[in-house]
Chain A
Amino acid sequence: MRITSNMIVDSVLHNLNGNLDQLRILQDQITSGKRMAAPADDPIAFGRALTLTSALSTSGQHLTTTDRSLDWLNATDAALSSTTSALQRARELAVAGANDTMSTSDRAAMAVEVDRLIQEAVSLGNSKSGGQRLFAGLKTDADPFTLNAGPPTTVTFNGDNGVMLRDVADNATVTINTPGPATFNPAFTSLIQLRDALTSGQAANVQAAISSIDAAVTSVAQTQTAVGTQANWIQTLRSQQQSQQVSLTDQLSKTQDTDLTAAISALTLRQTVYQAGLAAASRSIPQSLFDYLK
């Protein structure tokens, strides 16, 4: 093949450009930290990075939902514990009130305290978490329980039996709310029964109220156990979610991040090649026979 001066210049330029372009790509990869600048650089990995980013976003959202669901369950648990305390205090009063040695005025004083306990229980039934009523079903914007002084004293329920659902993981929808009437009605009824028995002054009636209170305590305790079980289940899902997030982050990083060690050594190699190319070009381009003809 006949070689002309411009052929050498053209191919030197072509190769130097190719090297510079590779250098640019490596510089971009290193400075941006991302292996791909456009989908064409690695279409499958680019699409996968988008999918992983979405999955990571969903997973992060599940963690937020989990935390807020646990807040809700903790608030429910606290309200139930307080209700149990109120019922236990009422039981102590009932045991004392059932004693024949108590005078009518003593019992009347006790009745006043039980009355306060009734109000406390109703207010516990209206507890909120983040502005929403815990025990109102889905009608979370208004107090579910209203105390009617009477006589006879009653508590009406204004909520519903709606079920509050939360997505705490992919394909894992959990219920976080506790039905109000089933949990609180035995407590209200037994407390009202005790107060009325204390007011009436009849020891036998007070005695009868004790067993109602016991039944109410059991009922609250059962609910509390169910809440605890649910919280544990959500905790388990939460730790699964966390390890999934670690794994997703790792996969995403492997998919889209620059392998710095490899990129920097490739850059060093490219730089060497580029410099060698420049050195070779500086020797070959200006040369011709004219340099030697005298």
Chain B
Amino acid sequence: MTSTFFGLETGLRGLQAQQAGLDVANHNIANANTPGYSRQNVNLRESLPYTDQAFNRPLSAQQIGTGVTVASIQRARDLLLDGGYRTELSSQRSLEQTQTTLQDVESALAPTSGGIATQLDGFYQAWSNLANDPTDLSARTAVIQQASALAASFNRAASQLTTIRTGLDDQVASDVTQINNFATQIASLNLDVMKAEQAGANANDLRDQRDLLVDKLSELVGVTTVEQPNGSIDVLLGGRAIVQGTTTDPLAAVAAAPGAVRQVLFASDSAPATIASGALSGVIDARDTRVPGYQANLDSIANGLITSVNALHSTGFGQDGVSNRAFFVGSDASTIAVAPVIASDPTKLAAANAAGQAGNNGTALAIAQLGSGQGTGSPASFAALVTQLGLDAQRSEGAAENQAALVQFMGQKKQSVEGVSLDAEAVDMVRYQRAYEAAARVITAMDEMLQTLINQTGLAGR
């Protein structure tokens, strides 16, 4: 036999369980827009039944249900999806970084107006004009002005590329600081999760926060995580843990020598860190491979221009009859300049290929002809560089876009599992509210029953 008040206890448990369901729905709705939040489910389970010996069947027993209990509150999360999402996110951030860098290089080498291409045309045009009248001082001055403008546009492009590279190197330092920051926060959340779960609860919200940090960390650098039985996670970078339990092994961005680019090392033992993907890997790739590649190409064109023009100019003669003067000084895009001796005196410009002939335009003609050639330093060679850059940028843009679409797709899949659906919460609210009302009604019924029992029975003996 159950006790007289047995039903009140069952009703109370019903009220508590439905209220827990409503509380979780409330929590879900409150966090519908919280980044990293995964929706929570309340798992209800029948509480332990009461075994009642039956009067008429002494050898068997009846079990009477005792109501409901909240078994657990779980977050909806697909860990496999999380890992895949992070891998794609890391690689997308890396591609995006490459694309951004190439766009910067494009604006340095092929600005929408002006730039080296325009100045190269103007330079050879000025020589051709001089060939029309080598005695014309204004044509000589024009050659020097055009050459100075050309040299300046090479200098500007070279310094823009250097600035891009320096900016990328600074980015490495700030990314490393950010990575260490995330690692520290993850280690501290590890401790919180371990403490909370020791008591047997699911640290849903703490885990959400920790997963969000791992997502953010994955944007910067590709990492893998391993969950330990105690609820903490180890974060591995190329096989070496940067977070293990509650401790971190921080990274450092160190320049080997003044002026050298920063290398990413483990601060504890200076071992190089493996940066395979993530924004940081894009930054390092751009800084160490992409940008230096274009710098080398630009320098080679500037050098070809200097060499080819000087080779002809030094065999030519100025109006003063002197030969063997260089037209350009310098050796690359950052150092190219018109030789000061020529810049300060246009009559020393060698238009003639023989002394004492005022009308001789042999050298000017030969230099102007370089402009229609294909040699390094010609407009054609620069157009080829811009085409190559465009192809690289286009390819990286396409790859970044495809990867972004993949990340968007995986994000949607994650959202599908983790996200809060307001419709579902509305249904749950109604469900739990109605059950709560019904449980309350049962208690009222019990109350009335006891009222009957206590106040209305046994009146005969009064």
Contacts and interface: CB of A to CB of B under 8 A. Distances in A.
B135 A131 contact: yes
B205 interface: no
B387 interface: yes
B275 to A, nearest CB: 26
Interface stretch (A91-99, A239-247, A269-277, A286-294): A286-294
A53 B357 CA distance: 34
A101 to B, nearest CB: 50
B344 interface: no
Nearest to A130: B133
Contact of B415 (A7, A173, A289): A7
A39 B32 contact: no
B120 interface: yes
Interface residues of A, number: 60
A140 interface: yes
Contact of B135 (A34, A46, A132): A132
A43 B120 contact: no
A38 B408 contact: no
A40 interface: yes
A218 B403 CA distance: 83
Interface in B200-249: none
Contact of A10 (B386, B387, B411): B411
B416 A4 contact: yes
A54 B370 CA distance: 12
Interface string A1-34: 1111111001100100000000000000000101
Interface in A177-197: 177
B106 interface: yes
Contacts of A160: 357
Contact of A50 (B112, B117, B356): B117
A3 B419 CA distance: 8
A79 interface: no
Interface string A164-177: 11110010010001
Interface stretch (B163-171, B181-189, B389-397, B437-445): B389-397
A61 B121 CA distance: 10
A10 B359 contact: no
Given A138-B360, A166-B132, A293-B430, 10 more contacts: A5-B421, A5-B423, A6-B420, A7-B419, A39-B106, A47-B384, A54-B380, A69-B132, A166-B361, A177-B359
23 contacts: A4-B419, A7-B412, A7-B415, A38-B106, A38-B107, A38-B112, A38-B393, A40-B390, A43-B388, A46-B110, A47-B383, A47-B387, A58-B124, A61-B125, A132-B133, A132-B135, A133-B359, A139-B357, A162-B360, A166-B361, A167-B365, A289-B426, A293-B430
Interface of B: 32-33, 102-103, 106-107, 110, 112, 117-118, 120-122, 124-125, 128-129, 131-133, 135-136, 352, 354, 356-362, 365, 368-369, 371-372, 379-380, 382-384, 386-391, 393-394, 397, 408, 411-413, 415-417, 419-423, 426-427, 430
List the 3 closest A-B pairs by CB distance, nearest first. A39-B390, A43-B390, A47-B387
